[in-house]
Structures are given as structure tokens and as C-alpha cells.
Chain A
Amino acid sequence: MMVLGGIGFTAPWLLLALAALPILWLLLRAVPPAPVKKRFPGVALLLGLKDDETVSDRTPWWLLLLRMLAVAAIIIGLAGPVLNPEAEQAEGDGPLLFVLDGSWAGATRWPQQQEAIEAQLTRASRLGRTVGFLTLTRPEAPVFQSADVWRSRLAGLSPAPWQPNADMLEVARTVLAGAGEFDTLWFSDTLAYDGRDDLLEELRSHGAVEAYQTALNVLAILPATYEDGAIQLRVLRASAGEAREVTVQAQGRDPAGNGRILASATATFEAGETEAQTALALPSELRARITRFDIAGQRSAGASTLSDDGLRRREVALISARENREGLELLSPLHYIEQALAPTADLIDGGLSDVLPANPDVIVLADVATLSEAEAQPLTKWIEGGGMLVRFAGPRIAASDISRIDEDPLMPVRLRAGGRSVGGAMSWGEPKALSPFSNGSPFFGLSVPDDVTVSAQVVAQPDPTLAERVIASLSDGTPLVTRKVLGQGQIVLFHVTATAEWSTLPLSGLFVEMLERLAVSSSAASTTSAALEGTTWIPRRVLDGFGALSDAGTLPGVDGPALIEAPTGPMLPPGLYTSGDRTLARNVLTTDATISPATWPADVPVRGLSVAPEQPVAGWLLSLAILLLLADVVASLALSGRLLSRSNTSAAALMGALVLFAVPADAQTAKEDFALAATSELTLGHVITGDTQVDEIALAGLTGLSDTLFFRTSVEPSIPMGVNLETDELAFFPMLYWPITPQQPTPSAEAYAKLNDYLRSGGLILFDTRDADTASFGASSPNGRKLQELAASLDIPALEPVPADHVMTRTFYLLQDFPGRHNSRDVWVEASDPNIEQVDGMPFRDLNDGVTPVVIGGNDWAAAWAVTSGGAPLLPVGRGFSGERQREIAYRFGINLVMHVLTGNYKSDQVHVPALLDRLGQ
């Protein structure tokens, strides 16, 4: 690439063509514009006329300039100009060390980085340099080999889910110390970390250092916390910049067990901020299913955070034997335990039989001695299914015979009668303190405060199993807390009360910590190293650098405090760790983590991170050239008088419109067109049967009926339409005419659903078997059979032949016959209410109910109504005058039918009786 005045050219020799421009200028000047050929009879009169000016009409200078500019733009565009060209890389020889950060931060751009490495390997191979690799997240002594060997191993490199820490950098410095002279290419993951400067110094002592760093702004998500009833999510970015939105997706399993995105939230980085926050309020059932949070579009371990017990609020049911008495709040057996659990667990109140169906995680029974068989059985079942029953002793248990002779299934140990009391006014000795928790107890590692004393307790009877069931004991060895496994669940008994009556344990912080260790509750506070003292955590699933979870395999367990405090590394990969019933996620970033972009000394050349990236401008120049040439076309046409000549005006305008406003035509869907056509005026519709002739006659028939309505009534329908039951909306049509042909397809289930909707919402379908009803509404004609088949799925009420006093007989004309092309009397409508009797003196019954949803007949009405485009009848009806009379009655039936659809039972209103009586001549 050649650089001229800050602009690089990929093909600079093409610029020589610019020298040809003046020649082109002269050529264009010399050639006049092409003539227009015109046919013109008046040429006879022109013969012999000479032009006044003998010089040829030259192209005007501005048009020439336009063309010159276009040609110049093409030449420069083809020369491949590039804004902000990258400086050429220095050649070199000798060994070359590739230093990779290899952390999660580079995972999102890993493929690009691999390409860059491959390109550099190719280059090193071309220059014959040996190459060594040093991945800072897994430092090993570099082996300098030929670049081609490394290229084959390139695919084996993968980012680690941690950042290089001080130890790793120390190792790296150590292994480099002995190496000789080499140049360094440092592929940075864009994030800064401690100790980089020292390593850089070490590297520079061996040779030149160059850095590669992408412009990616690394995003990372901090562990999710649960506060204020919502999951709080914080997202970091390495460098502040413009405002930006990121989507955080909560992944989990749906009830079917398939992984899916359960919820997503958008966090917005304000301009200039590096941290964004969002909250996700979810029901606790959904929250419990979340396994991880990911930043959408990022593929790195840092953009994922695993959820653990911290997000999970356990449901704890608290049950006590005594009803709370007013004013004795502090004496309530549940008061202290409520206080201890309320911040970190969801508490459920209620009777045992009420809370069991809610399937809580823990049930606390405070001094409940006896349980009825109806309660004990489901409770046992619930424990065996994984529930945890926590019982507290108290006066009632001490006084009862529970678990005295035989061990109660719901008690971990047998109890002696009455319990014991120490250090009281009537007893010997001092109140007992707790002994330190033994190794193997879930409480191991918790420090025992001195002020926790026990003055009364229930005492376990010695049993062979007692020793293994004790998880906490007093200084004299008496069991204080015992535990028994039952099925998948467990039963824990505190041998003291849940109140401060028997001991000071409920008043101490130890009580809360013990509950947490028992996984009765969980909170952020429990994940301090002190709280995890003495626990061992086994990795279950670990993250890789791309943020994918995989089985931990045989990775060793981790000490509790180390899990919290030690930096992540090969021995402590981020992932899910379990200890007993508790699950803890060690995430890539801790809650107080920050990320910041790596900076480089000014004398280290950094590639791939230039503020202004290379920008080829060839496309812009070529587009400009095309625009100029288009302008030239318009100008040339204008000059030669062809632009605005008669036939070219529209073409030119069209071309201009195409060039300037090349937008897709307004894509109004056919559906909208159909809706507009059907609803701008009242429109009659017929069902498209698929039989061309029948459909044509139906359409012509409705046209004739519409015309007749237009002429005679105030109903002024527009042109009728064919309706496709499958695709078209039916609700636009007050009435559908449905001619029956034996061949027509049966509508789909969706179409039937639409038809039933239509019938229920006041539509009317006129079924016409067109067979003169020879079968008398039976099934013996093919059309009749087809009608039965079609109507089987329709919501059609009971039918009857049109009664003489049906409202359809008088909605507009007074009619008794409803002929079409045939004159059969059998026309069926919805049966009227049989209970309505005709009132004496009234000409008709008071049938004030809705419009009949169907009219069924076989008179081939459409054929009688059908008109040609000229308005003449399309088909003959009957013979002579009587035939025309029949056609007229057919039209009147049509008008009555449409009126019936539109006005309903208006004419059934008795208000009109006198007028109608008058007209009926009664």
C-alpha cells in the first residue's frame, strides 16, 4: 500500500490514469452531442435551409466538468483509497514469542484472535522465524519451533475462565528468565491485571515487544444478588463510552426439564459509566429454576454468572403447638426463629395439613409433642421425599411420652423422661456451655461464643446409634442437636427450646449460623470465609473460558474459605460447588470485582486498537461516480431536448423517482385490500365453491340482487365478492350465499371455527342446494347429501319450514313464496319458540328473537337473480310473463332476506300491526 497525504492506495499505479483526463476533455469537447432522429413530414419544407451557425454545438463546459469528475472518481475509487492506513509492520528475524493472555476476556473475540495469530504465524513462517507460545493463564516454558508446527496446534488453544494472577505471572517471568533473545507479540485480551508491567519489562529485556489488542469493550456480569424482592444484576464494561444497552438472560430449566431462557432484563450503561444495573423480579418458583445469567451476544465465562443458594429463598413452614397469646410476643416459641429466618427465607404459617401441600423446603416444629396419624403419615412421606424437619424441644416434649420407649419415626433419638435442668436455683452446677463442634458435624468450623449457655434440655437416651446422630453437644458431652436421615430427607432435633427460656442459644449469632449450615436458610452473609470455616466443597460443574458448563470430573474438593478467597485458577475453576445440601457458585467475577482496559506504554506499538480503524473509501467514490453519471444522463437529455419531450417526461420522472426514492412500494397486504373492499360499503358475499360456473352465477346473482336493492331500497350495497372460507375474514359480510355443489371441498377445522363464530355473531348463511329441493331437504340428492356433510360441523339450531308468520315474510315485501329459478315451497329457517301462541286478533305471533342464522332451500336463487354485465337477466326463469313474475318474486325474496339480516325482527314489532293489518286487508 502506498500512502499519499494520509490516504493509502492499494493500487496506486491506477492513479496514473488521471493524467489521461485532459485528453478526455479535448476529445469530449470535439465531439458534439449525438443527434436526435425525428420523423417529421414537414421536412419537405426544411430542405435547403442552412444552419445560421456553422460551428458544431459543443458540449457545455459544466457538463464536461461533470463527466471529468465522474471519471476521476472512478479512477481514484479503483485505485483503492484507504483512510487511516495502518503502518507497515516491521520485519524481523530471530525467535518470536507469542504471549497470550488466554483469559475469559478474550473468549468472545477468540476466533478473530486465532485468525490474527494465524496470520502472524504465516508471516513468521515466511520470514523463517521460530516461534514459541506462552499462555499467561497456563504458563509453561516456551518451546521455540517452526511456525508451521504451531499452526497445526493453534486449534488446541482455548481461553481459560480466569485471569492471569500474580502466581502465574511469576511463573511466566521465571520461565522466560533463562530464554535468550527473542521478539514478542503480545495478544492481549484488552483487560488489565496486576503484574503486567513487570512481565512487559522482562519481555522487553529480551527484544522488541508488539501488542495486539482488539477494540472490543469487554462486558462482564457480577454475581447476582437477591435484594428488595428482586434479583439484582450488575454488568461491567472495561471502558466507559457511549450509552449502551445490554440484555441479561436468565437461563434455567422449564418444567419439562429443557434448558431455555426463563427471563431477560435490559441493563443500560449511561454514557461515561462503566457499570449498569438492572433487576429481575420473578416468582420464587421461577427464580429457583434459574441456573445462570448470561449477557446476550457475549461468549465468555465473565459474561456468565452461576446462581446458587444465594438466590434461592427456602420456604420454611413454622408450626408451634401453642396459639400466640396477645402481649406475649417474646414468649412465642417461634419468635426467635422467625427473626432469624425472615431476612433470608420465605416463611409459611398455618396448620401442618395446610402447609404440606405447598411442599416447603423445611418445616419447623417448635415444641410439638404429638402428631396425629393423619398428620404424621404425610409428614413422613414429605421427609422421605427430601424435606427437612427441624424440631425444637420444650416443656411439652419434655412432659410427653414421645420417643420414650421406642424411637419415634419423627424423632432422631429416644428421650429420657422429663429432661434435665442445670444451673438453676434448685439445681446443682452451672449452666452448660457448648463444646466445640467436632469434625464431621455440619457445624464444624463455627466458633462457639462463650455466652451461649444451656440451662435446661431434653436428654437423649443412649443408643447404639446415638453417637453418629449427635451433631452438637454440650461441654459435658450431652447431645444438644441430633440428626437422623429419613429417606432423602432428615430430621433435626434441637434439644432446647426455640425461645430463650432454656438456653441463650437463640439469642446468639451462632443460632443463625447453625440454621444456615443446616441449609434451613441461606444468605449472602453465609458466603463469608469465616462462615465456611471447616467445610469442604466439591466441584460439580465447572465453567470453561467460553462460559460453557461441563462436568467437573475428578477435580479435588476445595476448602471453604479458599473457595471464597483464593483466586480462580486451575485448582479452583469457576463453577458450582456443593457441600452437603448446600450449593455455592464460584463465579469468574466476585461481587466487588472491577474491570479496566489494559494500557500500554507509548513505545509499545499496539495493533488492532487504532482509534480510527482503516476505512476504505473506494465504495463511496464509485457511488459518487455513478451519481455523477446519472446527473450527466439527465443533463445530456435536457441539452438535447429529450428530457422533457412528450414521451420521455414520464419516463424521466419515473427514473428520477427510482433513483432518488428507491423505496419498496407500499406493501399493503391483500388482506387489507380485501377488508377495505368488503367494509367500505355493505357487501354481499358468496362462498367460493371451486366450481367456476356456479361461482360465476352466484356472483352474477348477488350483483343482480345488489342492483335491485340499490334501486328499490335504502340499502345500497357495493359490488358483491366471492369469499374464500379458508383465508378471508367472514365478519365483514352481513350475509353469505352458499351454493352447494357435490364436489366442493369440506372446509378445514379453522374455517369451521370461523363459520361458527360468524353464525353466532349474527351472520346469516343462505344455503342453496340448487336442486329444486327435489329431495325435500333429505339426503337423497347429491347436493342434499353434500349439504348434510358440510353442515355437520356447523352450529346450526333446530330448523322448521318458514312459518307463514315468519318475519321474513314481511320485512320489505309481503311474501308467502320464496322462489328462485325453481319454485319449491320448502325453505327452512331456525325453528321459532314453540311456546309462543298467537294472540287473538293478531295476524302473527310475537316472535321477538334474533335473526335466523341459516336459511336453507334449493330454489337456485342466484340463477334467478343473476344479471349480465349489461344488466339483463342472465338465465331464463320459467316461461313468459309468469316466469318474469317468478323472477320478480325471487328478487323480492332476496330483498326481504337482506332486510331481515339488516333489521332483524324489527318488522315483528307489534307497533306496525295496525298498518300491516290495514295492508293485509283484515
Chain B
Amino acid sequence: MSDPLSLRAGAETEAAAFPALLARAEHLAGAVLLGAHGRRRAGSGDDFWQYRPAQMGDSRRAIDYRRSARGDTEFVREREWQIAQSVMLWVDQGASMRFTSSDHFPQKIDRVRVLGLALAILLNRGGERVGLTGTELPPRAGRPQIMALAQLFCRDDMTDYAPPEHRGMIPHARAVFISDFMGDLEGVRTALTKAADRGVRGVLCHVLDPSEEAFPFTGRTIFQSMGGTLSHETLKANDLKERYLERLAQRKAELQSLCSLTGWRYGLHHTNNTAQAGLLWLYGALDAKAVAA
């Protein structure tokens, strides 16, 4: 999954099962670009808006003969003026994501990359502009952007727990953060607060390996983080299980409350579930009216 072509191919496969996503967007003056969001007025777009009588200057080609043939008047078919939305992604590339507890399901990083890129492809197909948070790849429309995204998704981050990138957020755009959120929550809090300040709303997708939920360890064990920076030794791993699960639940609750404060949406995805389920949820979350409020 590490080379851009195969990552893109995988993402395309995931995205192929979906209809084009039309994320609901707010009308924002600063981000008016032609896209696929109806502006409730006639203009260039794909969706039907209204028939109006033909006027002088209308091209003959513009006349809708099917409608005109019902009467004597000639009608022109007008389409809705649609604009595009900007969506910024942050996909955790940290070392902690390169973990899987079984050969039967992928590493977390593979899963989040596919999810992120699939979402980008869906949005891109819907005419949205997709990019990354930060300054590296600002949102743009068009197929080349997908390739650029795939390229960037294939770079591994060496840090153990990467903090969310919150720079370069375009005001009133949408954002999607996908991570296991195992690192310091302060970074997430900063990012979300900053986003809320700029009117950016979005989705937190929490991706976890099943073993991180189950903690199936026993006996004398030395736990090490994926990068090797953190380690913890215990003599009876099974004794830690309850307290570990407690802390995990606490963390989830904290993320959830953070989201509700800032108007984001929080979702949990496990790598032993299909990527499709995760993408479906992301699709729904981005499309949700609650976010659009």
C-alpha cells in the first residue's frame, strides 16, 4: 500500500461503490468557486433549475425542444448554479499507525490512507476541492489533485504519535481528521479550537485496532510504542486490562466532548471492520445537515 499507484487503485476501488458525494455546504462568499453545490439560482451546473421562455440572444442550441413542443412558446432549460466546497484532510501518518495485531486485517495506517483518499476521490468526483491541512497541498479540484494526495499519503512520519496539522485552515471550509488519537490530546484540542475559531467544521474519525480495544495480553510483558520511544513493563499484563480500557473510554469521551463543543462530529472505526463501513460513515458525517447548521 505504500506506493502511490496501488494506494490510489485501492482508494478508487473503495470510492467506486458510492454515488458522487455532494457535501452540503454553506454559502460562503470567500470560497465561491463553481462546484456541485446548488446556489438556489440559475447558473452553470448539472441539475435542472427551471424552464424559462427563450429570449433574444439565446442560442438555438439552448432551446429545450421537448418542453417547447408542448406549446407554441420556446423554452430554454436552465440549470442550477452550483459551487464547490473546500475539504481539508489530515490523515495521521505517525508510527503508532503502523500497527496491526493480526495478519487478517490491515495496519491502521493502510486503513486511514485508503479511507482518506477514498473520501478525497468522492469529494473530487462531486466537484469539491480537496487538499490537506497545512501548507503542503491546499485544496484544489480535478483529478491531478488525487494523484498529489496519494503521493503525500505515502510518506511515513517517523514520530511516534503525530499531532494534528492545524495550520493553513481555510475559513469556513470543511476538515476531516483521521487518526488513532493515541498521542497527547492537547494537540487535538488546539487544532479543533483553532478550527472552530475559523468556522471550520468537520469530522474526527477515530481508527483503532481491535487489540487496542480488547487488550488481550497476559503474563510478564514489556509494551513498546511503535517508534520505540515509550515503553512500559508489567509483571501481569492481564491485571492492567481494566484500567487500560477505562483510560481508553475516558479518551473517547474526551474526544466526543471536544467535538460537541466545536461542532465537529466524532466517529469510531475499527480496522477489523470493512473500509466501506468507515467510508459510509464519513460520507454521512460530511453530508449531515447537523454539520451544515
Contact = CB atoms under 8 A, between A and B. Distances in A.
Contacts of A42: 182, 212, 215, 223, 244, 248
Interface in B83-122: 96-97, 99, 101-103, 108
Contacts of A52: 236, 239
Contact of A646 (B99, B101, B183, B236): B101
Contacts of A38: 217, 221-224
B236 A51 contact: yes
Contact of B225 (A34, A44, A641): A44
B217 A39 contact: no
A53 B102 CA distance: 30
B232 A646 contact: no
B226 interface: yes
Nearest to A52: B239
Interface in B232-289: 232-237, 239-240, 243-244, 247-248, 251
Interface centre among A40, A43, A44 (most CB of B within 10 A): A40
Contacts of B251: 45
A36 B221 contact: yes
A39 B99 CA distance: 8
A41 B244 contact: no
Contacts of B108: 41
B41 interface: no
Contacts of A57: 219-220, 235-236
B212 A46 contact: no
A803 to B, nearest CB: 59
Interface string A794-836: 0000000000000000000000000000000000000000000
A56 interface: yes
B99 to A, nearest CB: 5
A49 B219 contact: no
A616 B166 CA distance: 79
Contact of B222 (A32, A37, A642): A37
A639 B218 CA distance: 9
A33 interface: yes
Interface string B169-210: 000000000001011000000000000000000000000010
B230 to A, nearest CB: 5
A56 B99 CA distance: 29
Contact of B239 (A51, A56, A646, A647): A51
A920 interface: no
B240 to A, nearest CB: 6
B239 A46 contact: no
B225 A36 contact: no
B161 interface: yes
Contact of A53 (B97, B99, B236, B243): B236
A33 B211 CA distance: 24
B134 to A, nearest CB: 23
Interface residues of B, number: 40
A41 B218 contact: no
Size class of the A contact interface (CB-based, 8 Å)? 20 to 34
B230 A47 contact: yes
Contacts of A45: 182, 244, 247-248, 251
Contacts, number: 108
A40 B236 contact: no
- Max chain A Cβ within 10 angstroms of own Cβ: one of B96, B108, B230, B232: B232
A257 B103 CA distance: 74
A59 to B, nearest CB: 11
Interface string A15-40: 00000000000000000111111111
A41 B220 contact: no
A43 B220 contact: no
B55 interface: no
A46 B223 contact: yes
A406 to B, nearest CB: 113
Nearest to A44: B182
B231 interface: yes
A56 B223 contact: no
Contacts of A51: 234-236, 239-240
Contacts of B212: 40-42
A610 interface: no
Q: Which of A36, A52, A639, A640 has the most CB of B within 10 A?
A: A36
Contacts of A35: 219-222, 233
Given A45-B244, A46-B244, A51-B234, A640 B220 contact: yes
Contacts of B233: 35
Interface in A630-689: 639-642, 646-647
B182 A41 contact: yes
A41 B251 CA distance: 14
Contact of B224 (A34, A39, A646): A39
Contacts of B211: 40
A155 to B, nearest CB: 69
A918 B101 CA distance: 72
Contacts of A32: 220, 235
Given A41-B180, A57-B219, A46 B240 contact: yes
Contacts of B230: 43-44, 47
B99 A33 contact: no
A39 to B, nearest CB: 6
B225 A43 contact: yes
A647 B161 CA distance: 26
A849 B231 CA distance: 86
A44 to B, nearest CB: 5
A49 to B, nearest CB: 6
Interface string A242-275: 0000000000000000000000000000000000
Contacts of B103: 647
B220 A49 contact: no
B221 A41 contact: no
B239 A639 contact: no
B232 A43 contact: yes
Interface of A: 32-47, 49, 51-53, 56-57, 639-642, 646-647
Given A37-B224, A45-B248, A57-B235, 6 more contacts: A41-B99, A43-B231, A46-B244, A53-B239, A640-B219, A641-B217
11 contacts: A34-B220, A35-B219, A35-B220, A37-B221, A39-B226, A40-B217, A42-B212, A44-B183, A45-B251, A49-B240, A641-B218
